[in-house]
Structure 1
């Protein structure tokens, strides 16, 4: 079996590369309302990956990173565009980071919390999605505030809107978009984490893992940006 065939056997066992993308992260992938196609870094890199291997591509849309992780054992996708958090390395192999996104806090306009440094104090309640990579980083950072886990990022925002918490953690891009659509809220100054985004495959996919590492280093590392 040729090297390409070994890679395709792992990365496209159905004949096309099924690439899982997280639709809750507009900094990485979004739906073009005019063309109906997916755009953004994740979608573009997936297209380049398919072109590199001369293979078909199917972008599989998920509502959150948690949904992607939950579908990992269900044979729904072959590669996934998710954060390369250390808590996930027992299940997946990750490419080098192709970009980095930041996470911050959303608060009400009337909140006394002005910056990231103001949030970790006694009595402050922070809502954050349980399986999000930035929540894993937040768990390692928080010392005094109360961390309230939610099912997904939208639930964290709902808790803030209903005054069940004092701040909602999330990706800065998503929080900023929420502010534009929902007056009365603002993003505090600064960020509490930088979340590296990578291409993941199951740990058993050793040939694909090596290929993706080389692919990202050659195609993407020079273009990494913070969001």
Structure 2
């Protein structure tokens, strides 16, 4: 276990832990419209982390994981709650996963596509956010369908709504919420991806990386994180 002073230099250099969260991932963090309080696993663990270290906490909201990554070199955050993706390992160190979210496809009610297995056929166009971890997994799996890259998850949904594609890839919970608010769409059966979610720090933060690994293992063994 690193010395506390060494750890705080990396994890709270301003005296406050600045934790980046992805507000587009409803499975991980939500804003209570009445109280204005952030809830969900990411927010809960950020609060527990600050309590463990006896530090103040500032949860910084981003519109997407791509926005968090784009801000990585701007000294805006100290820890980030993002997907643990091997392609990001050259820039970040990841804790063990604190939860896993699934990804699936959204289609129109009139679509003949019923399950994940039906989507990967010739002629099917799948819209998916360019920088999403699930898109990278999707690209490794697809053999027949065509993946159309969009700037963010919302753009993928817009493409489906405007009939520019046959299916939109996204996190299952976010797709389900879209269906609740937009009649005429449904989520197909099954999932094509399971995306582990972790706490990331810059590769240079070796003390923070060691601490967060132990912290998440203890947190998860106590059964504290929940979906």
TM range (shorter): over 0.9
SS at the partner of 1:107?
strand
By how many angstroms is 1:139 displaced? 0.7
Q: Is the 8 A contact 1:20 1:59 kept in 2?
A: yes
Alpha-carbon distance between aligned partners in 2 of 1:131 and 1:224, rounded to the nearest angstrom: 29
Corresponding residue of 1:67: 67
1:71-220 superposed matches below 5 A: 71-220=71-220
By how many angstroms is 1:220 displaced? 2.0
Corresponding residue of 2:58: 58
Q: Is the 8 A contact 2:116 2:188 kept in 1?
A: yes
Alpha-carbon distance between aligned partners in 2 of 1:77 and 1:188, rounded to the nearest angstrom: 36
Aligned residues: 226
In structure 2, the CA distance between the partners of 1:161 and 1:188, relative to structure 1 (3 Å rule), is: same
TM-score for both structures, normalised by structure 2: 0.97
By how many angstroms is 1:34 displaced? 1.3
Alpha-carbon distance between aligned partners in 2 of 1:206 and 1:189, rounded to the nearest angstrom: 41
SS at the partner of 2:73?
helix
**Which has the higher mean CA deviation after the structures are superposed, 16-25 or 26-35?**
26-35
Q: Which runs of 5+ in 1 are unaligned?
A: none
